[in-house]
């Protein structure tokens, strides 16, 4: 019930945008007592809990696989196999 209330007030995409914004503000931080990255992390934890009740939020929080990284890992593993021979 509480999760539904929160998700009515703050749509899933808005919640994810707030997390990203807080993460990026860390670089701009000037002598503040509270770290924006820490706030973003706490919001992320809340979002994970809320995602149990909302498939859209669940989808938004899934990590995106980067094809280039996967290809680089594949190439580096092939190179290491060749070096062992």
CA pseudo-torsion sign 37, 40, 42, 47: negative
pLDDT at 85: 46
| Of 56 and 78, more confident | 56
Global pTM reads 0.60
C-beta of residue 77 within 8 angstroms of C-beta of residue 69: no
Bigger pLDDT: 82 vs 2: 2
How many C-beta atoms lie closer than 10 Å to residue 10's C-beta?
Answer: 16
Of residues 42 and 70, more confidence is placed in 42
pLDDT at residue 77 in the model:
58
pLDDT at residue 50 tops 60: yes
pLDDT in tens, 51-62: 998 899 999 888
Which DSSP symbol is given to 66?
P
Q: Which residues lie below 8 Å from residue 36, measured CB to CB, with a gap of 6+?
A: 22, 23, 25, 26, 29
């Amino acid at each position: 019930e509480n999760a539904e209330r929160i998700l009515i007030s703050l749509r899933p995409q808005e919640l994810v945008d707030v997390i990203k914004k807080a993460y990026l503000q860390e670089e701009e931080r000037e002598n503040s007592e509270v770290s924006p990255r820490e706030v973003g992390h706490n919001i992320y934890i809340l979002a994970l809990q809320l995602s149990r009740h909302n498939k859209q939020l669940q989808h938004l929080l899934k990590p995106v696989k980067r094809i280039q990284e996967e290809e680089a890992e594949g190439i580096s593993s092939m190179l290491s196999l060749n070096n062992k021979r």
